[in-house]
Chains A and B, each alone.
Chain A
Amino acid sequence: MENYRTLTEYEIDVLIENDCLADNWGNLQVVENFDPSRVYFSQFSGKIFLGSFSGFMEIDGIKRPCGIYHARLQNCTIGDDVLIDHIGSAIVNYHIEKNVFIENTFLLSAEKGAQFGNGVKVSILNEAGGRDVTLFNDLNAQVAYFQASFRHDLEFQQKLNSLIGKNIKSQLHSHGIVESGARIRNCGAIKNVQIGVNAILEGAAKLENGTILSCPEHPSYVGVNVVAQDFIVSEGAHIDAGVTMENVFVGQATQLGNQFSAENALFFANCEGFNSEVNSIFAGPYTVTHHKSTLLIASLFSFYNAGSGSNQSNHMYKLGPVHQGIFERGCKTGSFSYVLLESHIPAFSTVIGKHLTNIDAPLLPFSYITEERGQSRLMPAINLFSIGTVRDEAKWPARDRRKANQKRDLIIFDVFSPYSVEKMRRGRAMLLKMYEETPREKSFIVYGGVQISRLLLRKGAKYYGFAIDRYLIGKVISRIEKAIETKASWEMIIKQLVCNSAPKDINDWLDLSGLLALKERIERLMQDVKDDKTQTIEEFLERIKIIYASFENDEWAYIYRAFTEDYGFAPDKMTVEDFMTLVKKWEKAANSLNALILDDASKEFGDFSHIGFGMGFGENERQADFKAVRGESQTNAVVQKLRAEKEEIQRRAESIMHTLENMV
């Protein structure tokens, strides 16, 4: 707490000499070593507190003295070594912390009772409301998901809203704050906006009713011509180049730019939005849209990529824009694809073409959804061996740009997890049943609004089987490999495969916008909220962190149960012979998928990929041109990794079999 004093007569004289005015000099208080020579052409009204301005700031390579120049301040507290220069209208009702730089900005003003974006309701998934998410500073993807999704439980929603409301109340200030080290330059009107540590605002046109969270490890940036109303921006976000947004939450390390427009939208960690338009969307982590003619509307996404011109429609001109879409994690929509809402697109699936039917296929992940002569067709499991899926698996964790100490959104990156594998298990059973029940004369069956080729029912089930075997047996192999390092006998090794926890409904998993969790744990948390066992939103967030930390144990419990169900014996009850049979099964599954993925990757180097190369020259030049631009299959990093994986599969299988043969 600073010790302030009133101005001396000398200081007042200096200020007047420097063409400064005050409605009442007696309302101006300063720190002990205040230097009036650092205040020029400025006017003061209301209660003013000024720090010392003895230091300098380097701006554009020039050392400039800290102080207040050409500004109008009302009811402000200014920290030490602040530089304020050329304010068009005024700074009203703000606390400006130390080392802040504000220049050439029209207005920085906070009204009493302002909530700075906290409490704003964002209508996602249903433009007409019904899934509104309340913004507050500590919002993360999971809390937003709780707010938006579990609407069947009114009591829970009321309690959660109450916790959020309490948190908002506790964070309200009677004034605006610009935290230390922030830079605000060439901006228009900034009204009711909290600005965080080291945040950079450059050329923003208009910002109203918001909070820009920021930290030294990852400063937030709001740039040229940005217009934002009713918003919260998280640490490390970068918003630039004419973005317009209203009723928006921007998560950590999200990048928005190039005239992107967003209304009623939530973006969580590492999203990217350029050129496109979005409305009423819940963009979970890694939702990416880059292209001008793309509209994303009324849908839930995560780990999603929008091809140019992707479009959905949520308005059938009946009861209003009330239809919603679910694009589970890992989906992609191809150029100029269209999806009619309501639709539920399965995880890690690709949608190509225009779909005028409501698609409902959550149990068929890794599918290709195409369109042929107006008819939507689904090819189950095809994306399991798309080289794109393999790239994504490595890409997402490597592209986690978040640098803030606290990573708000809790993300499980695994492509193959209890969540996706259980869907495949159920999908496989369903496909096989449909295959058995469909006469040979029928070419297609209709499921979930799409046609599926009868032949692909069995094929899709087979591919799911490969992925399931690779996952379940692979995880057990990994544990056994680790145990072999220190345990000398089979009996001791399989003791490492015991499952200590056994949740009742181990097969039911949810994806809470990046966090994969047992449904049972989520229901328990919701019940605790209803029973008032969770008293604050901070406690609620801590409980979610505990669920996140439980993933590894829960995953093993799932694997234990699924393994037992699929192979007829529990991992800790199997004989060496049982296991060696399963190793061969794993090897076959892993090799089959590896071969299919390599084949898909090789198409990128095949004859069709050479089209347009070596223009005007012969075949040799065409090959050389291609090699210079695109490289070769043999040297491509992703392909090399796949080839190495094939060798690794063989090595692991041989090694473990050899070791265990000696234990028989």
Chain B
Amino acid sequence: MKREEIAERVIKVTARELKKSPEEIKESDRFSYELGADSLKSIELVAAFEEEFDLDLDEDEALKVQTVGSAIDFFAGLLPE
């Protein structure tokens, strides 16, 4: 899967779960700061990504993802091209 497609889906899921418009979301945005995801919302967000990409994420690795951009890179590394 190309990075652009992954980015579009990450932003779509983020917007849906955090009730923002996709246009508001930048790759540099931190989920917990600029996008306002508290710890409970973050868990739902990870669950949403798992469902979107049909993955079972390693919790330790998922915790290291702090920004929208790093999430895109993270999934790009997991999903086949």
Q: Give A residues with C-beta under 8 Å from B.
A: 368, 370, 379, 382, 440, 453, 455-456, 458-459, 462, 591-593, 595-596, 599-600, 603, 607
Interface residues of B in 29-79 (CB under 8 A from A): 33, 39-40, 43-44, 46-48, 50-51, 56, 58-60, 63
Q: What separation, in Å, do the CA atoms of A595 and B57 have in the docked complex?
A: 13
B44 touches A456 (CB 8 A): yes
Do A591 and B43 form a contact, CB below 8 Å, given A455-B48, A455-B51, A458-B51?
Answer: no
Bound form: Cα–Cα A7–B53 in Å: 99
Chain B residues in 8 Å Cβ range of A603 = 39
Asked if B39 and A595 make an inter-chain contact with CB atoms under 8 angstroms apart, the answer reads no
Q: Are B40 and A596 in contact (CB under 8 A)?
A: no
CB distance from A604 to the nearest CB of B (A): 12
Q: Are B40 and A382 within 8 A (Cβ)?
A: yes
Chain B residues within 8 Å of chain A by Cβ, number: 15
The interface residues of chain B lying within 8 Å CB-to-CB of A596 are 59, 63
Q: Least Cβ distance of B50 to chain A in Å? A: 8
- B48 to A, closest residue via Cβ: A455
Is A458 a contact of B47 with CB atoms below 8 Å?
A: yes
Taking CB as reference atom, which chain A residue is nearest B60?
A595
Chain B residues contacting A593 (CB-CB under 8 Å) are: 59
A83 to B63 Cα, complex, angstroms: 69
Provide the residues of chain A in CB contact with B43, threshold 8 Å. Answer: 379, 382, 456, 459
Q: Which residue of A lies closest to B42 (CB)?
A: A599
- Rounded to whole Å, the gap between the CB of A199 and the closest CB of chain B is 48
Evaluate contact between A459 and B60: CB separation under 8 angstroms: no
Contacts of B40 in A (CB 8 A): 368, 370, 379, 382
Complex CA gap A596/B56 in Å reads 15
A595 adjacent to B51 (CB under 8 Å):
no
Residues from chain B with Cβ under 8 Å of A370 in the complex: 40
A382 to B59, CA, bound (A): 13
Question: Which of A368, A440, A455, A591 meets B47, CB within 8 Å?
Answer: A455
B63 contacts A453, C-beta separation under 8 Å: no
What number of residue pairs across chains A and B have CB atoms under 8 A from each other? Answer: 39
Smallest CB gap from B33: residue in A: A607
Distance of A459 Cα from B17 Cα, bound (Å) = 15
Within the complex, the shortest CB–CB distance from B24 to chain A, in Å, comes to 21
Nearest CB of A to B13, in Å: 10
Closest to B62 in A: A595
Q: Which residue of A lies closest to B58 (CB)?
A: A592
Q: Which residues of B contact A453 (CB under 8 A)?
A: 44, 47
Smallest CB-CB separation from A458: which chain B residue?
Answer: B47
**A592: which B residues are within 8 A, CB to CB?**
58-60
Q: Check B60 against A591 for contact (C-beta < 8 Å).
A: yes
CB distance from A450 to the nearest CB of B (A): 14
With the chains together, A456 CA to B51 CA distance in Å? 11
- Can you list 25 residue pairs at the A/B interface with Cβ under 8 Å? A368-B40, A379-B40, A382-B40, A382-B43, A453-B44, A455-B44, A455-B48, A455-B51, A456-B43, A456-B44, A456-B47, A458-B47, A458-B51, A459-B43, A459-B50, A591-B60, A592-B58, A592-B60, A593-B59, A595-B63, A596-B59, A596-B63, A600-B39, A603-B39, A607-B33
Whether B59 contacts A595 by the Cβ 8 Å rule is yes
A456 CA to B56 CA, complexed, in Å? 13
* A459 & B39 in contact (Cβ 8 Å cutoff): no
What residues of B have a CB within 8 angstroms of the CB of A455 in the complex?
A: 44, 47-48, 51
A32 to chain B, nearest CB (A): 77
The distance from the CB of A509 to the nearest CB of chain B, in whole angstroms, is 28
Residue contact A459 to B46, C-beta cutoff 8 Å: yes
Distance of A380 from chain B, by nearest CB (Å): 11
How distant is the Cα of A595 from the Cα of B47 in the complex, in angstroms?
A: 17
Tell me, rounded to whole Å, the shortest Cβ–Cβ distance linking B36 to chain A.
Answer: 12
Q: Are B63 and A599 closer than 8 Å at their CB atoms? A: yes
Give A63 to B70 CA distance when docked, in angstroms: 78
Contact A459 B47 (CB under 8 A): yes
Cα(A459)–Cα(B57), bound, Å: 11
User: Closest CB of chain B to A586's CB: distance in Å?
Assistant: 15
A residues in contact with B47, CB < 8 Å: 453, 455-456, 458-459
- Chain B residue at minimum C-beta to C-beta distance from A435: B51
